[in-house]
Structure 1
Amino acid sequence: MNTQSLVDYLDELLQAPLIKDFCPNGLQVQGTPTIKRIITGVTASQALIDEAIAAEADAILVHHGYFWKNESSVITGMKYQRIKKLIENNINLIGYHLPLDIHPELGNNAQLANLLDIEVTGPLELGNAHSVSIKGAFESAIDGQQLAQRIDKVLNRACLHIAPPSNKPIKTIAWCTGGGQGYIELAAQQGIDAFISGEVSEQTTHICHEMDIHFFAAGHHATERYGAKALGEHLAEKFDIDVRFIDINNPV
């Protein structure tokens, strides 16, 4: 498949031009003009690039690409080594950050909901069609320990559960994959029972205790494995491209 045609398709599918982000979305490093094999993953680390080279891939499709706002613009050190390998091997780097978080079917948030059997009810940020945090509900209320065990099993890692003093049952829930712990106050203000994110901050414990809301930190990497994987599977089915998801383990 033609590289630019693939990027155009992804831009439209994920509505990337409409979403304000912290990095460029789409094609970040140009490689071969024809794509037959894609490696998908969470982050365009050196380890993932090495896997793509070994697999003779034409493109890498990730959630965490390069050229973030406020980072140094010079291409030296680690950034140089990564980009050098991509160019030497004629591999395209394609990245989608927030567009891949919020897509209603293939996005990280939607995929996490599917895995945890949560029914999505709408955006947490009311009136924002591009809300990066969403909310939903379980069919039946469960307790915090049950939900922690479900998260541990589904994501294959131990999550951190901070329970409020009431330890109330959980029926309603909101979540934001990755580093979305800052949305917990908004969830608590709406009377939601629990919030899931990838990361946790020092103040999160106090918010849980004082605003009566459960919190689960399930890992930045672990909560964002599934968007890139789902997007790759979608491309493989639609365009008959060889797509392989590679999970580079990250305990964070």
Structure 2
Amino acid sequence: MSKSHSLVMLRRNAKHIARNPTSVFNAVLMPIVLMLMFVYMFGDAFDVGVRYIDYATPGLMLMAVCYGLGSVATTVNSDMTKGIINRFKVMDVSRGAVLTGHVVASVLTNLVAIAALVGVAFLLGFDPKASFTDWLGIVGVIVLLAIAAGWFTIALGLSAKSPETAGLATVPLVMLPFFSSAIVPAEKMGPGLREFAQYQPFTSIIETLRGLINGAPATGDLVLALAWCVAIALVGYLWARSTFTKRA
């Protein structure tokens, strides 16, 4: 029964996303706009040792995951504050299905956004060295990251007092990739910022994607990236379920 409830919630969330042009733009089109901006406007200004499109694509893939989070937090909070959850309780809908539906919808949206982004990257001359196994690893890391970000975002949305503040709560997650190795190598940053970029969660995830795309993943980065994703997912899940139980 819970599985069927989750599918119903997934269809509901997919319809809401399709009817909201802003969320579609943020999730799918904004990462492509950023790619065009960085590659065409700033690409020649960065000395990264390789063609900039090859360097920037992994970081922009991570950004694609982050840019759709605002609408997820807003939708979750809106469901909670406008009484939708109480209606589901009357209909005996599984509580877990409500949250799971949001997470799965977010993951699927991220996969569509990244597929579109990679397609544009190939048009711009993207030349990955990844094997079929490497691409499976890339998809696996992205899905795990999307699940982790989804649960953490839902927790933020449930904890916010209004849909507006829920959307603002995700701004640090959207901005965090800019203070990583997504755009330029961390070692080229100034003191203080360099150390922050090197040790924050997104850098290890980006470097793992970069290594897989180049066909030479570093074991240390991979282990650290997986550990960060699992930790963020676990914290987000426990926080979301606890907050949902208190507020529902």
Q: TM-score, normalised by structure 2?
A: 0.28
The TM-score normalised by the length of structure 1 is: 0.28
Question: Which structure shows the bigger proportion of residues in strand conformation?
Answer: 1
**Bigger RCO of structures 1 and 2 (CA < 8 A, at least 6 apart):** 2
